[in-house]
Structure 1
Amino acid sequence: MAKPTTNRWSKLSIWPGDGADPEDFTSKVCGLTSKGIAFSADTSDAVVGDCDDPDAPTWTERVTRSLSAGVNGSGLQADETFPFWNNWFLSGEAKNVRIVLDTAAPGYWQGRFLLTKYEVTGNQGDGKIQSSLSLVSDGPVTWANGAP
């Protein structure tokens, strides 16, 4: 097998919208040294028996009931971003967000997200204030090909 093409961690970025009309997504989040997006599905299970052999073991069949996405990030707390994150969390409102994948085939996921966790910490060991955040989707998350 040939060696796969890989990308640097900096090619994944989070771009919250500014809420204006038209929406501006020109400010990616600064300071995060770890970030990611995860998708999940809620399913319901049904056991469907074999009509010709009711004593035979049955397989569980599943149906996807709902889809969800979550975004996480952590790293240095950039002073310039504190008001944005603090105000967003206190508002309790969803914002439009793009999660950009800047690779050979660039594109981005986009949807409305709620900021469900915003944590600010610090310790003497590294001497810097850190932050971590979690977002959850509020409705559909779509994929768009191309640069944002």
Structure 2
Amino acid sequence: MAKPVTVKFGQFFVRLSDGAATPVFTAPCGFTSKSFSRNKTFGETNVPNCDDPDAPSWIERDVQSMSGSISGEGVLAKSAVPDWEAALADTDSIECEVEFVYPDGDSDIYTGNFHVESFEVSGSRGERVTVSVSMQSDGEITYERTTAP
């Protein structure tokens, strides 16, 4: 069996747009863990067996909606606070980019608008102050694979 190509933590990027017409995406510093998820919600219909009404019916599912979320935790980096505060204060969603860069230079890039849902700062005596951020998608998320030249 061939060994799979994997991605190191440092090659998993969560970037926020500066909002310009040609956006520049930057990754706020401080995350020590990150996650990106996409999901669907379904409408479910019990479809009976017309030839045998006593047989169990099968559930058929139709996609009603799709969404995504981004979350991360880590240290509170001074340089990142203005970016997170601006995104949280904005009543409009902001464009975000999630990228996975493979060792061969190929990338998987997901782009979409997200609302900052929460920005939580916490601290304990004898430790560094930490931050937890969660974001929810606002509309379509696109996917693109780029390949190294």
Structure 1-normalised TM-score? 0.91
In 2, distance between residues paired with 1:22 and 1:29? 19
Which residue identity does 1:146 align to in structure 2?
T
Contact 1:13 1:29 in 2 (8 A): no
Gaps of 5+ in 2: none
**Partner SS, residue 89 of structure 1:** helix
Which residue identity does 1:124 align to in structure 2?
R
Contact 2:28 2:83 in 1 (8 A): no
In 1, distance between residues paired with 2:69 and 2:125? 31
In 2, distance between residues paired with 1:81 and 1:122? 17
**Partner SS, residue 85 of structure 1:** helix
Gaps of 5+ in 1: none
* Per-residue CA distance 1:47-68 (angstroms, 9 max, x = gap): 1111111111111111111100
Equivalent positions of 1:96-111 (< 5 A) are 96-103=95-102, 104=104, 105-111=106-112
In 2, distance between residues paired with 1:110 and 1:134? 16
- 1:73 matched to which residue of 2? 72
Change (3 A) 1:2 1:144: closer
Which residue identity does 1:12 align to in structure 2?
F
| CA deviation after TM superposition for structure 1 residue 90, in Å | 2.0
Computed over aligned residues only, the root mean square deviation of the Cα atoms, in angstroms, reads 1.4
Contact 2:34 2:73 in 1 (8 A): yes
In 2, distance between residues paired with 1:30 and 1:119? 15
Which residue identity does 2:8 align to in structure 1?
R
In 2, distance between residues paired with 1:29 and 1:14? 8
In 2, distance between residues paired with 1:7 and 1:40? 22
| CA deviation after TM superposition for structure 1 residue 29, in Å | 2.0
| CA deviation after TM superposition for structure 1 residue 81, in Å | 1.0
| CA deviation after TM superposition for structure 1 residue 137, in Å | 0.6
The yes-or-no answer on 1:24 pairing with 2:24 is yes
**Partner SS, residue 87 of structure 1:** helix
Change (3 A) 1:6 1:22: closer
In 1, distance between residues paired with 2:31 and 2:79? 13
| CA deviation after TM superposition for structure 1 residue 91, in Å | 2.1
- 2:117 matched to which residue of 1? 116
**Partner SS, residue 67 of structure 1:** strand
Which residue identity does 2:134 align to in structure 1?
S
Identical-residue share of aligned pairs (%): 30
Which residue identity does 2:71 align to in structure 1?
N
In 2, distance between residues paired with 1:107 and 1:87? 27
* Per-residue CA distance 1:21-44 (angstroms, 9 max, x = gap): 11112x212110101100110001
